[in-house]
Amino acid sequence: MLNKIKYKLFGKFQNKKRLEQMKKNPFKRVDSEKMTDIEKMDKGFNGKTYSINGMDVDF
């Protein structure tokens, strides 16, 4: 129950933060500093694609 409350309070803020990071450089993976090269390859495409300024971007 506490997790649901925390998500409702901070979940939307984190999504906006990720979107802002992606808008700065749409060619760089968000949170790539925390991931190793192997983790990046294993993660791959997660199926979420957004169109920003006519460019299709996944993150």
- Residue pLDDT, tens place only, 31-59: 777 878 778 777 766 666 666 776 666 65
Question: Residue 12's pLDDT is what?
Answer: 57
Question: Residue 26's pLDDT is what?
Answer: 72
- Residue pLDDT, tens place only, 10-37: 655 556 677 676 677 777 777 777 878 7
Question: Residue 42's pLDDT is what?
Answer: 72
Measured between its terminal Cα atoms, the distance across the chain in Å is: 28
Question: Residue 22's pLDDT is what?
Answer: 67
d(CA 11, CA 19): 13
d(CA 30, CA 59): 7
Question: Residue 13's pLDDT is what?
Answer: 57
Q: At 30, is the secondary structure helix, strand, or coil?
A: coil
Spacing of C-alpha 59 from chain mean position: 5
